[in-house]
Structure 1
């Protein structure tokens, strides 16, 4: 049945052959050829439609669509058309002829058998011709370009490309393509040498990697011969940019990745980073090249010394002389941190106004301070810059304490980098009179020196008092000293000394010192120069000192137990300062605002800076002002000479003066 249908089709083709137009096409000898069916793509109108290829109306060559069994049976040695060959795709209805020879000359018929309409025939008269010469490309100097590229060129340069073809059989057509688009065309009807040129004038960036192709062809169904060159260029960057998304703020100690993006630089440039004019080394640095982009990533951990320094990304093209760069100014800071690390003990009295100063280091300035009471209630205060201290800010809180305020009070500041990680901690305990000082006596009979170690001040500035009395109780010498250091001249009678501390809340217990029992190590008794000292005096002094020391220790322990908040396990710091600023209260107990949540940025921890200790004199009214007082020897038993700048009250006016101790 199948053979019958083929025979009928061949007979019909033969009958219609005399009425068909014939196309004359050429193919190059010994090269592949592809014959098209019709003058465009053929569309079949149904599943029963098909295409037949015949040669000389006798030999059946190809059917589309087809089955594998038909191909093997009818044309076991033929190669049929495929959709794509290499990078070129073709219509499956075309007829593919490999490496044609003179035997392939003749007439080829393509008959399209439609399902719903009459069949259409296309006839091709195929001629075999000799190949033309392979194109060669030369520059304007006549030098043949043997590499697959030309250049590198720079912006604005000129170059001429000449295509030369040896024409062996006319007619021959030579075409110049730029990126697949015809820019020049020339034809010749006589054998010989054919030349055609194309000019690249004032080269622009779009010439980078442009493909210029010269083709020569004297056939219709054979791929033309071609020669191709690609333009290479040296290009400066279009843009160099440090990308920080307008966020130039770096937190101290927090690593951050910074990108430098270079656009349009050819070849790949060298990128260096500079901070404050110094080449950045020993840091994570990587580069990414993606076509027209080069990205250098720098992991930068800034210090406070880098604040307001310029970060530069410098780009250097090895083939160009100019250095290209981008600069940004860094803003380096850190979140607030407390100037002291230990808990500060504050003695409060129910119903008596109390002021606490919170001192922090911060860059930039805090936007506010947050105070959290033991009962979880919160107060907010503003920040004030400390005079003469860089990056130090303080804020005061004044309130009327109640008994339930006993416990730990926390102070935290917040700035643009976030909230203070470790708060300033104050242990609120019951205040009152100060503890008695612990004094030692030194010197000789001619002059004695009393050095006192102050105890806890009870929450207010304390002063040490010394009274020298005769055995009859008459006061012969009375003096005070804020540090507790006294000198007593020699006296003709036996005397004793009474030492105690006082503040605005009262005075401590008195301690008695027997000045006659002290003997200098340099003195020598007149009655016994060989002994060097009296064993009786030694035993008396030793036993007296031991008794006084035991009494002081017992008294301190009792006071410690009485002043400790019930259930509290926090060790009170007895080595705090001489007092705090005080003024009229900001709010009363009932005026405290409710808790408020503060959203802050989360960054890395700040660098540790040695805290600056401060002392605030006792003030009852007047205007409050922040000043730093340099503490000497952590307020130990010796108060060395130094200058303190503080606030002092004169009547109802708060003044600042300079004191020499």
Structure 2
């Protein structure tokens, strides 16, 4: 079918040619109306060539359309007669438009479209239309092809092509860009635009019509607003198509806009504290480099952080404020070295608060090495502080000095003066100033006041030495200046004899002298005396030392058990007299049942801690002291270690409260209340019957007396006193165990602490309450007995004491505290029933009333002679109370 259509078109074309050959004109005069229609198309665009298909008369129609180029070559035909297939209507010359041409017959006017117009498509086109009845119509179209220019090329100052970004240019500098355009028919017009604004520029014409077109843009004094501005070069030679263009973006170097120290209100800093000080700058391109300076000296302990858009730089300085930085200038400098003059900085004068710094000085006209008792002395305290100190305190050897004009002490804020100083005012002086930052302490200035030597306290005053043994007696003195000579003398109550200088030597410290003394006979024991001399004079009171025959040390006493656990315990005792020589203390711990040694400890002090013991053990402890002359008597003490708590196993039975159980509880509660009421009434009646006027202490409404020295618990007969210093003690026995470590019948340990007993006048210091050899009649029963002994309370007592100088016991000194009274409980007497106890009590009361037994007959005298014992026996569970 397609072959037939092509053949028909060719036949028709041959016929038309034949007609023209017969005399039909072939010039422009063949078309109707005026000159050719001018049509323009842009290269690579679409050309629309119109053709009039309207018949000249009615009842006529077009049947064939043929297009010619340059009036010679047919390039396209369209058969408008009915066809079975639309594609058979079109014919295209493959050597010319090929597939780029399409005829649109249904539009008004009809037209031939030429797509992707090429430059050689330019020329004259003729459209011939054949009608059914009317003659053929020819119309001409002149097609002009416009060749657009090439894309502009933008050059910088150095004639180098700028692809997308121009610069960078410096803020305040000059920018020159040149746009070069090649090609284009007709010649294009070149212009510069910034956004939608046309810029003034200088266009240069080319030397030839086919040469390039140039346009140069010059911008002076670039500002921050020109950053990233887009400049576009356009080239256009028609109004059909869009002009060709090229754009560049401006990159610039910018100065820092601002530098700020982020310090809140420039608050003062505190010395010796660390701070993080922030400095911020923005607006610099590239980001500014921040440096820190303190009074022009570079700092390096900082770090910088740049924002993601590189517009802001934050620098953090780690700064430790010091006193020396006060009033110095801290500088944060931001610099962009890409820009001339691209430097900005922020300054801060530091205000640093610091603890007062003090300098204490003795008066400027005083010689610190030539101050004697009776001179006037003054000090100056120089204070440097920020803020100013609100208080200044003066101290002498750490103690605050108060103003006392009466005694010649004058305290002012920054000055201290003494009138007629004495030896007690010598020592170290400091001043302390306070402000909001704290307290500042000055240097210590020692005030040296010349005075005669005096004996140092806490020296060893008693030396025990055997015959023909040597004792090194050390005499220590305090003096200023140091003593230059010492003198020794011996006194045995008959005469005082100077000791030859060869017998002693002075220490290199010049504050002590050592006497080597050897007693040969009994007359060589006695007192040695020591004097020292210095520039101020001879020592007024000699230092006295006692030479006694060496002996064994005394036993430790007042031993107390502390800190008992399952595997350890501690023992603390009071050391007895050391016999005049160095003594050591020993502790041996035995299992009371097996007598096996459990631990052995040695100490320079009378205090021990024993660990690693077995739990639940009853222990026997032996304590004694020893020196080079032997060991003391043993002090016995009993104790125990706690038992380990037993674990309870089994599943607990849930408790259920039933109505029957509630009734039972109510009945039991009522019975208990009734019983308590009855017992209370009986108790009140019994107390009234047992109370006798003679047994009650009477407190007189006078000045404080010995009665007020008693502990408040002593006034309550139902309270067992536990104070170590109370005026009477309770003792008990369970197979020889002290009351502090007894076990009660319920299996629990007694909580009462071990009581200590003080020595009475004349009683040997080695006598201990725990030395059970003194009580041979104590039974070894498991019964615990309690008793209370009430005696008349004396108001005065002659007590014993130790002479600190002589090292001997002296007595007869009056003392207002009441005496300690000791009583012994005789366990050899037993009463089978409480009734027997009441009879015995009544019998003892009758004997006492008759004068056979006195209340004080149970007091132990200083000698171990037989004693009359007041025995009180009370069953463990008894409602009776006794007071003998």
Q: Say whether the fold is shared (TM-score over 0.5).
A: no
Give the TM-score taking structure 1 as reference length.
0.37
Higher relative contact order (CA 8 A, sep 6+): 1
Larger radius of gyration: 2
Give the TM-score taking structure 2 as reference length.
0.29
Bigger strand share: 1
